[in-house]
Amino acid sequence: MIGTTIFKIGEEVGNIGQFGRFVWRSAVTGMQSIAKSDTYPLIWAQMLAIGVRSVPVIMITGAFVGMTLAIQAYDQLAGMGLEEHLGVLINISVVKELGPVLAAVMLAGRVGGALTAELGTMKVTEQIDAIESMGTDPVKYLVAPRVLACLLLTPVLIVYADLLGIIGGWFISVIHLHINARAYWSFSAYGVDLWDVACGIIKGFFFGGAMAIISCYKGFNCKEGARGVGQACTDAFVISFISILVLDFAMVVIFKSLYSIFWPLRSLVG
């Protein structure tokens, strides 16, 4: 019993070490890939698959987040006679929290799952071994372009989610609930800073990077057979999802501290 527990702890520590090495290798080869133009075609191809093809689903996610927030918050604010402040609530929630987090979760499902399944299948059919046997680093050829594409395009996709969230909120608030448009936008402009938008976009880099690296790692280390690939996809999504939530919490704390340092007076008022 004790022996088994010690063995399992040892195994987990080993796995963490292995993951750490994988992250380091990916980071180093990613940097090298940026410096070498011959890897750009691989990065463009991944950008198309990961970024461009995710735009519709991200836009739909953003739009529904904005619309739902408008419907949910209207009654509470209208009850206090503050319905013209609806824009602040919707837009700050969308650009700071819900847009980035829900876009990242959607990407973890759509892109992360596909990355793990693709790399996992390559692993069990010895395609990754084949790349290695031909003197090519599989991390450089397979992982670096995917991580770079996710890292660069997740913030861009978050901008799309924010944009559609804002439009969705406006559509329900102004067109459907007949809130004064001028007041709606004036309060929004007053309440939402460039800092808030930047916070959401910066989160995108970390969410995209974490999701890509976890998905690639799970694909590279998946067990034999269809069951192994399926399990790797499930693990990749669950771990990516939890990582997004943990990173979000950590970044909220960091950004709040930074805000207090740069704008101490406004943070007290806010």
Task: Tell me how far apart the alpha carbons of residues 146 and 109 are, in angstroms, rounded to a whole number.
Answer: 15
223 phi, psi to nearest 5 deg: -85, 170
Among residues 18, 72, 76, 125, the one that binds another protein under rule CB under 8 A: 125
Structure tokens at 9: 């702890």
**Orientation angle between helical segments 99-107 and 225-262, nearest 10 degrees:** 160
Structure tokens at 24: 């380091």
Our CB check for another protein shows the closer of 8 and 256 to be 8
The CB-of-233 to another protein minimum distance in angstroms stands at 18
The CB-of-124 to another protein minimum distance in angstroms stands at 10
Report if residue 261 touches another protein, rule: CB under 8 A. Answer: no
CA atoms within 13 A on the CB side of 261: 6
Among residues 1, 35, 80, 134, the one that binds another protein under rule CB under 8 A: 134
- Maximum alpha-carbon separation in the chain: 70
The CB-of-140 to another protein minimum distance in angstroms stands at 9
Our CB check for another protein shows the closer of 32 and 72 to be 32
If 0-12 CB within 10 Å is exposed, 13-18 middle and 19+ buried, where does residue 246 land? exposed
Structure tokens at 245: 């939530």
Report if residue 130 touches another protein, rule: CB under 8 A. Answer: yes
- Write out the DSSP string of 184-240: HHHHHHHH--HHHHHHHHHHHHHHHHHHHHHHHHHHHTPPSHHHHHHHHHHHHHHHH
Report if residue 221 touches another protein, rule: CB under 8 A. Answer: no
Report if residue 231 touches another protein, rule: CB under 8 A. Answer: no
Which residue, among 127, 131, 62, 57, has the nearest Cα to 90 in the 3D structure? 62
Report if residue 260 touches another protein, rule: CB under 8 A. Answer: no
Binding to another protein in span 25-54, by CB under 8 A: 25
Our CB check for another protein shows the closer of 21 and 256 to be 21
The CB-of-10 to another protein minimum distance in angstroms stands at 13
Size of the site for another protein (CB under 8 A): 13
Report if residue 127 touches another protein, rule: CB under 8 A. Answer: yes
Among residues 97, 137, 193, 248, the one that binds another protein under rule CB under 8 A: 137
204 phi, psi to nearest 5 deg: -55, -40
> Looking at 52-60, 120-128, 200-208, 227-235, which segment touches another protein (CB under 8 A)?
120-128
- How many CB atoms neighbour CB 34 within 10 A? 12
Our CB check for another protein shows the closer of 127 and 267 to be 127
4-23 footprint of another protein as x/- string (CB under 8 A): --------------------
- How many CB atoms neighbour CB 248 within 10 A? 17
The CB-of-42 to another protein minimum distance in angstroms stands at 11
Task: Tell me how far apart the alpha carbons of residues 238 and 232 are, in angstroms, rounded to a whole number.
Answer: 10
The CB-of-132 to another protein minimum distance in angstroms stands at 6
- The footprint of another protein (CB under 8 A) covers 25, 122, 125-127, 129-130, 132-137
